[in-house]
Amino acid sequence: MEKNVVHLRRTKDLNQYTIAATDTDIGKLHDFYFDDEHWTIRFIVVATGIILSGRKVLISPLALRHPAWSPLHVNVNLTWKQVQSSPGIDLHKPVSRRREAEHHNHYGWPHYWGSKGVWGSCSNPKALVEMAGAASHTETKDLSDEMHLRSTREVTGYHIEATDGEIGHLEDFLFDGETWEIRYAIIDTKNWWPGKKILLRPQWIKRVSWAEREVYIKMSREEIQESPEWDPNRAISRDYELRLHKHYGYAPYWTAEK
């Protein structure tokens, strides 16, 4: 049944989506930056077109129009001039909290950090924008250079280490198009079991070695082998999610994390 379907988006499926400003198309979706604490997408990386000299810019989900999604487009509540005058970004260097604040302050976006919630005290970017005074602008000079943002392109291919050995590699992510939280990492285990892909919650990861490009999970290879298989050609249902969480012994994320 339709009400049982979970509407998640796969990051690779959105590659080359057009980013539509209020007055013109400004470029193509190139990448996503997510934070490694909340596992939530914080920026869309846009490869701009000729009108903006082809440079790459960062746009937050806080800038989305509503509806945000239309066929092959992501709609943002910005003009091309706002994007043109935005702070520059070097994708070869990490994005610090200080750099994030520069982007937020340029566009007048509230800051999502400083509270325990995923988006400040809110559960999604739309609510944060709509809540007057939800987050004040922190002075950039008072922020540290700590870095928690990661590129989805960069982490693709990381090796997955179970408790008793390697089990596959990270292929992609599935995220919630309303909250922008990464709900699942897609794991390809084809080197062990031909064609099998499985889903894991980021919260089931024990640790990540960013330097060694390895993800250490809390499960054994046998647990992974026996887990419900993910079929990319079928929509994810709540029934499937319940079976997945039950298999690993975790409470569903929409109730309470175990």
The three state secondary structure string of 24-71 is CEEEEEEEEEEECCCCEEEEEEEEECHHHCCCEEEECHHHEEEEEEEC
Q: What is the pLDDT of residues 225-248, one digit of tens each?
A: 999 999 999 999 999 999 999 999
Last residue of a domain, one of 121, 150, 179: 150
Same domain, 51 and 118: yes
Q: How many CB atoms lie under 10 A from the CB of residue 224?
A: 23
Q: Which of 150, 174, 194 is the last residue of a domain?
A: 150
Same domain, 134 and 59: yes
On whether both 31 and 137 belong to a single domain, the answer is yes
Please report the pLDDT score of residue 1 as a whole number.
42
Determine contact, residues 9/44, Cβ cutoff 8 Å.
no
207 falls within a domain: yes
Residue 203 lies in a domain: yes
Looking at the structure, do residues 117 and 240 belong to the same domain, yes or no? no
Which helix (H) or strand (E) segment holds residue 40: the answer is strand 40-48
- Do 116 and 190 lie in one domain? The reply is no
| pLDDT tens for each residue of the chain, 258 residues long | 445 877 899 999 999 899 999 999 999 999 999 999 999 999 999 999 877 777 899 999 999 998 899 999 999 999 999 999 998 888 878 888 888 999 999 999 999 998 888 999 899 999 999 884 544 444 545 566 677 899 999 999 999 999 999 999 999 999 999 999 999 999 999 877 777 899 999 999 999 999 999 999 999 999 999 999 999 999 999 999 999 999 999 999 988 654
Question: Residue with structure tokens 């079991």?
Answer: 193
What is d(CA 74, CA 65) in angstroms, rounded to the nearest whole number?
Answer: 8
12 and 121 assigned to the same domain: yes
Q: Which residue segment(s) compose the domain that 242 sits in? A: 156-248
Of 79, 87, 27, 29, nearest in space to 53 by CA: 27
Whether residue 200 lies inside any domain: the answer is yes
Number of domains in the chain: 2
Q: Return the structure tokens found at 71.
A: 């066929």
Q: What is the DSSP letter of 212?
A: T
Q: What are phi and psi of 201, to 5 degrees?
A: -70, 140
Pairing mode of beta strands 18-20, 182-188: unpaired
**CATH number of the domain bearing residue 10:** 2.30.30.240
Residues 40 and 106 in one domain: yes
Q: Could you tell me if 46 and 145 lie in one domain?
A: yes
Residues 125 and 183 in one domain: no
Q: Assess whether 104 and 171 both reside in one domain.
A: no
What integer pLDDT is reported at residue 142 of this predicted model?
58
Predicted local confidence at residue 134, as pLDDT: 41
Residue 256 lies in a domain: no
**Alpha-carbon span 20 to 59, nearest angstrom:** 12
Last residue of a domain, one of 150, 167, 191: 150
Same domain, 134 and 20: yes
The per-residue pLDDT for 144 is 62
CATH code, domain carrying 196: 3.90.50.10
> Quick one: pLDDT at residue 166?
93
Do residues 92 and 187 both lie within one domain? no
